[in-house]
Amino acid sequence: MMIAGLTTFLSSRLGCAVFAALALSISTAAVAAPKITEGMYRVDWNGKVRDLCVDFYTNDDLIARDWQGVMAAQGPLCKLSDVKVGKTRASWTGQCRQPWVGRVAEVEHRVSVKVNGDSTFDILTKLSGDQQASIPIRGQPLRGAAAKCGTDATMFRPWQ
């Protein structure tokens, strides 16, 4: 009832375009990126298995813009396309160039992130172009006393 009143008030006071922009920003904010429950996970990173801690920053890393920032810090110039974000899944394509490695290296990164109902997660990065690879990451939460991140735990950072 209160939301309906607010909607009526805003639409009568604000122009149609301003109201539409406000409604779009509210609805866009409602679609959150996938979140992994914080705690310790047994992570299989392309065949290398380690126990790693998922924290707030891990979840920040699960968005295309953060991936782009991490890649830029390593040197490549990357453009994003085909970015899709849902509550349990996200995917994007990054076209990256490295002109300073002797020749221009062009690599396409196709990334998909999925958080499952049982708190496991799957991240798959496929590289094509001048570099070819498929990098699967799968995480399973640890149970019991092992589930809590200790002060000496190694953090899970998917793009490093």
Q: Is residue 14 scored above 50 in pLDDT?
A: no
Residues 96 and 46: their CA atoms lie apart, in Å, by: 22
DSSP assignment of 79-126: EEEEEEE-SSEEEEEEEEEETTSSS-EEEEEEEEEEE-TTS-EEEEEE
> What pLDDT score was predicted for residue 75?
82
In a domain, 159, yes or no: no
82 close to 98: Cβ distance less than 8 angstroms: no
Q: Give me the percent of the chain exceeding a pLDDT of 90.
A: 59
Residues 120 and 126: their CA atoms lie apart, in Å, by: 20
Higher-pLDDT residue of 31 and 63 is 63
Q: Are 126 and 81 part of one and the same domain?
A: yes
> What pLDDT score was predicted for residue 116?
96
In a domain, 152, yes or no: no
**Residue indicated by tokens 């849902």:** 86
Residues 113 and 32: their CA atoms lie apart, in Å, by: 13
- Tens digits of per-residue pLDDT, 45-100? 999 999 999 999 998 888 999 999 988 888 888 999 999 999 999 999 999 988 76
Q: Are 23 and 93 part of one and the same domain?
A: no
Residue 14 domain boundaries: 1-30
Q: Is residue 13 scored above 80 in pLDDT?
A: no
Report the relative pairing of strands 121-129 and 39-45 from DSSP bridges: unpaired
Q: Are 21 and 45 part of one and the same domain?
A: no
In a domain, 153, yes or no: no
82 DSSP 8-state letter: E
Domains in the chain, number: 2
Residues 58 and 78: their CA atoms lie apart, in Å, by: 21
> What pLDDT score was predicted for residue 104?
78
Q: Are 47 and 125 part of one and the same domain?
A: yes
Q: What value does the mean pLDDT of the chain take? A: 82
pTM: 0.76
In a domain, 140, yes or no: yes
**Sequence-ordered list of residues with C-beta below 8 angstroms from that of 12, at least 6 positions apart, any chain:** none
> What pLDDT score was predicted for residue 32?
78
Q: Is residue 149 scored above 90 in pLDDT?
A: yes
In a domain, 155, yes or no: no
